[in-house]
Chains A and B, each alone.
Chain A
Amino acid sequence: MNTSTWLIRREFWENRAIWVIPAVFGALLILAALFGQVSIPKLTSPAEMHEAAGAFQVIVGAMFYVVMSVYATWYLLDCLYADRRDRSILFWKSLPLSDARTVLIKLLVAMILIPLVYFVAADATALIAAFILSIRAKASLGSALWQADVWWDIQVLWLYCVVVTAIWYLPIAGWLMLVSAWAKRAVMLWSVLPPLVAYIFERVFFGTHVIGHTLARRLMGLPMVAFNGAKHVWTQGSGVVDNDGLPVRVWNLINPSGFFTSAETWIGAAVGIVLIVGAIQLRMRRSEI
């Protein structure tokens, strides 16, 4: 195994929460499927069954995505701070490991590997929960939750989400890592305070909202850039059909060409790269608190 593989293993040794949290969360959802109240209207048409299967998997996936976002944020804030706090950074720095590699591996873990762990956990949870629900509500549900094409769609959707999330939130990740490499204490506070102060400053002295709008757009704008008018499609009357009355497939939902050609995507990514370079530079200079 090479150095990078060892650095990745080290992250999983240190942060067992990477897999413990999704495992526990999945177990809770499965318990809910086992003992919770199930009231599902009888599904008759294929379109309704399609909708039920799709909605079920999307809801499970979305819940995992939310938990993942919270955890990945915490991970990024902590990853260059924890070993400075307990001084173990001096042990890591006594080994021939470059700071650039260390920082980039942590970024890779946060933006790609943690989401993939949650993806697998969400998949496993959805399968087990669907199995349980199908048995418990046999009369009304039947085989509704078992739609191969829906399952494949969800896989594509998840992988697409992992990729666009990693690129879109790169500036946020870069900022969190910069704070993590810089702060002497209270990383959480330092991550929020400067943008907040900048926002208030701009509002009071210039009466404009450029910073606020930019930040809000970055935090909440991903669905608008990476997906086709999702709202329009999902509120159709009977079942999940698109404007032409065809069942919605993932291909109609995602908008990779829009996302990857958007200037917003790449300006954000460039800002992210600058912040990450900053975090590496700080990592080289700050070894202790």
Chain B
Amino acid sequence: MAALIEAKDLTKKYGAHVALDRANLNIEAGRIVGLIGPNGAGKTSALRAILGLTNYEGQLTVLGREPFRDRTALMNDCCFIADVAVLPSWLRVDQAIDFVAGVHPRFRRDRALGFLAKTQITGKRRMRELSKGMKTQVHLALTMAIDAKLLVLDEPTLGLDILARRAFYDALVNDYMDETRTILITTHQVEEVENLLTDIIFIDKGRIVLDTSLEDVATRFSAVAVTADRLDAARAEKPFYERHILGKMVLYFENADAGKLAAFGELHTPSVSDLFVAKLSGGAA
């Protein structure tokens, strides 16, 4: 199947600062992809390019279109939530629904209303009168009522409390996601999303550090808790990261022989957050 998002040598410069440095991306349909990186790594620049919000160098196609030139058409099949705070404060809930219904050919009003009916939000309220959690619900109701092929979320839960964050992701997975859709999500709170992702992309200093599915993570990466007496032997297998926890050394390996590693200690697949730290910290233990 053709890639939904394909980037080749995607580069974005702001003056002398290089936000994206010849990044290559390949995202297929039906996946939930986490674009994960530290602050300033280029996550937002990558999303901006994918959504046609900014010009760029290199090749980029999203749903078969060039985003910057074709943003208007692209937005028929793609929607995004860039942080929940962006609904304009003067807009009323019923106006928001009327407007999106008026301009978006794939918006289904009944679905938006059905979603809002489960909340305390009434149509005459203005966004400025709603709490952040309620605004999220409005934004989600608007977005999930659009039959889009690609949904992009940029730090969608920034500033939300834990209850609202959980509700957001539950609604996303239970009410929205199906095999016809693709979700691309950026966050630096890895723990929050790692259970719902199918793919992860690590980005650092404008470069793609890792691009893999979670199934592959299990076969490709392993972590071993090594006791002090076996440390030298384990190090001979070239771990790419070491971490000292509770008197033990945890060594991280990529593409190593699992049978060999098992001899050094307890073997497990690293979590996404551990892998993230391990990958981005490089060899510096």
Which chain A residues have a beta carbon within 8 Å of chain B's beta carbons? 1, 3, 5-7, 9-10, 13-14, 83, 86-91, 93-99, 284-285, 287
Residues of B within 8 A of A14 (CB): 88, 90-91
Distance in Å: Cβ of A5 to nearest Cβ of chain B: 8
Chain A residues lying within 8 Å of B87, measured Cβ to Cβ, are 88, 91
What is the bound-complex CA distance between A5 and B85, given in angstroms? 26
Q: Does B122 contact A (CB under 8 A)?
A: no
A-B contact pairs, 27 of them (CB 8 A): A1-B102, A5-B102, A9-B99, A10-B95, A10-B99, A13-B95, A14-B91, A86-B86, A86-B88, A86-B89, A88-B91, A90-B53, A90-B82, A90-B83, A91-B86, A91-B139, A94-B51, A94-B75, A94-B80, A94-B82, A95-B104, A96-B73, A96-B75, A96-B105, A97-B103, A98-B71, A285-B55
Please name the 6 residue pairs, one residue from A and one from B, whose CB atoms are nearest each other, closest first: A88-B88, A6-B102, A96-B75, A98-B72, A90-B82, A90-B86
CA distance A93 to B86 in the complex (A): 11
Question: Which of A13, A88, A285 is in CB contact (< 8 Å) with B54?
Answer: A285
A95 touches B71 (CB 8 A): no
Residue B79 CB within 8 A of the other chain: yes
Interface size in chain B (residues, C-beta < 8 A): 34
Whether, in the assembled complex, B144 has its beta carbon less than 8 Å from a beta carbon of chain A, the answer is no
A95 to B80, CA, bound (A): 9
Does A95 contact B88, Cβ atoms closer than 8 Å? no
| CB nearest to B88 among chain A residues | A88
Interface of A (DSSP majority class): helix
Q: Bound complex: CA of A284 vs CA of B69, how far in Å?
A: 9
CB of B213 closer than 8 Å to a CB of A: no
Considering only CB atoms, which chain B residue lies closest to A88 in the complex? Answer: B88
Instruction: Give the residue name and chain of the B residue nearest to A94 (CB).
Output: B80
Contact with A along B61-86 (1 / 0, CB 8 A): 00000001001111110011111011
Residues of chain B within 8 A (CB-CB) of A83 are 88
Q: Is the CB of A94 within 8 A of B81?
A: yes
**Are B85 and A93 in contact (CB-based, < 8 A)?**
no
Minimum distance in angstroms from B280 CB to a CB of chain A: 26
Other CB < 8 Å A-B pairs besides A94-B80, A98-B71, 5 of them?
A: A3-B103, A94-B51, A96-B73, A96-B103, A287-B54
Residues of B within 8 A of A86 (CB): 86, 88-89
The contact of A13 among B48, B75, B83, B91, by CB within 8 Å, is B91
- Decide: A94 near B88, CB < 8 A? Known: A10-B99, A13-B95: no
B100 at the A interface (CB under 8 A): yes
For A1, A91, A97, which residue has the most chain B Cβ atoms within 10 angstroms?
A91
Closest chain-A Cβ to B147's Cβ sits at a distance in Å of 13
Q: Name the CB-closest residue of B to A102.
A: B72
Q: Using Cβ atoms and an 8 Å threshold, which residues of chain A touch B89? A: 86, 88
A-chain residues with CB within 8 Å of residue B95 when the two chains form the complex: 10, 13
By a CB distance below 8 angstroms, the chain B residues around A287 are: 48, 53-54
